[in-house]
Amino acid sequence: MSSDQPSAHFEGTGATPLAGVGTVRWYEPGRDLSLGEPPAESETDTATEMERFETAREQARTELETERERTAEAIGEEEAAVFDAHKQFVDDPQIVESVEEAIDGGLPAEYAVGEAFEDPIAQFEGMDGRMSERADDLRDVRDRLLRLLTSGERVDLAELPAGTILLAERLTPSETAQLDPDRVAGFATVVGGRTSHAAIFARSLGIPAVVGVGDALETIEEGATVLVDGEAGTVTVDPTDAQREQAATSRDVEIREQPVATADGKEIEVAANVGTLAEVEAAVQQGADGVGLFRTEYLFLERDSPPTEDEQFETYRDALAAFPDGRVVVRTLDIGGDKQVPYLDLPEEENPFLGERGIRRSLGPDSDLFESQLRALLRAGAAEDGRLSVMFPMVATVPELEAALEMVESVAAELEREGIEYELPELGVMIETPSAVFLAEAFAERVDFLSIGTNDLTQYVMAADRENERVATLHEPTEPAVLRAIARTVEAGHAGNAWVGMCGEMAGNPAYTELLVGLGLDEFSMSAVTIPAVKEQITAIETDDAEALADRILEETTVDAVREHLEN
């Protein structure tokens, strides 16, 4: 029975705009892998231990391949790609050599594995941003090998009791991928950030999650009743009846299959960000009006060579078929930065986010791939009823845009000469850099639409690496400078007769919906799981009120002041 006041309240980083109440179960896998003191060297047979290590590696590869396939099908190709990195760690020459040297020195295989992973984990923990999260990947691989070597039993997180709130120091990718959203009411971790694997998987699975709560989380006892609010970023022990009811409402949002409008009749398109056809299907189930961002780079991953024109054509055609009355916005190949494709032999750059990526590669070393992709897209546009739109990533100058548009015209002329049916799509530009903001009207005069990528735009406006936790407080889309860049883009786009959308993470947060409507956006695109909540929010908004809110917020100069307006 809940009390009128919660007994304890903890704050962390919200990962999913959902809330859930359930019974705490602590997950502490490290306890089962404690090895104790190694046996004497004389008791160890080196050949036997080498064979045990090789057997464990082979079993690990098999497990990883199975988990990769399951994750790609259940969650998405983007999330599943982490298991490819794990396979690389299993075969990493330095780690393997360290294990073999330790075995040669008289250690049993499991002790050798534990020792070999110590330094690499410590090195990654000392790095910034996404690289620091590789420490969790290494722990995942190490613990997998230790479990196989010690015949330890793996906790089946897929079979947790219904209504479980899972608490842990951290959750690795393979652990989070097992979670069943029908059984897990939410989870919270001691460490982790919004870009951690656990947070990303939670959003894809639609599980309420709060990460980075800190050591205070460990004071919550097994069996306690807890509310995890992934929107507010809070964990509450013994929630009140009112809090329970509010949490239940957050997960019971009506799925609206039809397009929605504000209370005073302004139609807003609500679309999904996807990377695979499996994610397209999930978008349909969540009531998406279409696809606002199809990340085509995931068609190029997990291969020894690029997909053929026909393979791409079939994928784009199937995406259009899923939305015969809607729009499918396909982003051309966005390789570079944090997206690496081994067979393209990408250069090692000191700062890849400021290097050769997106349209810079498509107009340069990847021009053949760009041409093949455009051929597939123009063919697909003629093959299905859905409206195809194509946008170019990381455009920073007018000459870059004009070169991309000329390539489209050239491909169309080539298809015409070959007698192949095609259709010219809507064309657009991603707004991701300050230069694109300043040139937005010039871009809009040349294309049909602009799409604001708030993840990169925030990074470049604030000069704050989106993967660096030390500057995470600056990577905030409600920074006044970022909001003014968004407002300027919308105004410039409309002045140039282009519609303006947003496909960054900001678009999927219901807390920002009224502000974004007030700023004048025509389309929002987001992870499929957040579509129902955003649609519901839109229907309650009066456009005049939203515009007044936006005007007040644009006068502010601090994040705290912006947040105060949003909370009020």
Catalytic residue positions? Answer: 197, 503
Name the one residue in this structure whose structure tokens are 């046996």: 39
How does DSSP classify residue 17? S
Element at 510 (helix H, strand E) = none
34 — alpha (psi -120 to 50), left (phi > 0) or beta?
beta
The answer to whether the beta carbons of residues 519 and 550 sit under 8 Å apart is yes
Q: Please name the residues in contact with 333: beta carbons below 8 A apart, sequence gap of 6 or more.
A: 296, 297, 300, 361, 362, 366, 369, 370, 373
Q: How far apart, in whole angstroms, are the C-alpha atoms of residue 220 and residue 226?
A: 9
Q: What value, to the nearest 5°, has the Cα angle with vertex 130 and ends 144 and 145?
A: 10
Q: How far apart, in whole angstroms, are the C-alpha atoms of residue 273 and residue 117?
A: 36
Structure tokens at 524: 């929002």
3-state secondary structure of 207: coil
Q: How far apart, in whole angstroms, are the C-alpha atoms of residue 289 and residue 259?
A: 6
Q: How far apart, in whole angstroms, are the C-alpha atoms of residue 514 and residue 566?
A: 9
For 19-49, the DSSP string reads EEEEEEEEE-GGGGG---SPPPGGG--HHHH
395 — alpha (psi -120 to 50), left (phi > 0) or beta?
beta
| Alpha carbon of residue 181 to chain centroid | 17
The answer to whether the beta carbons of residues 278 and 526 sit under 8 Å apart is no
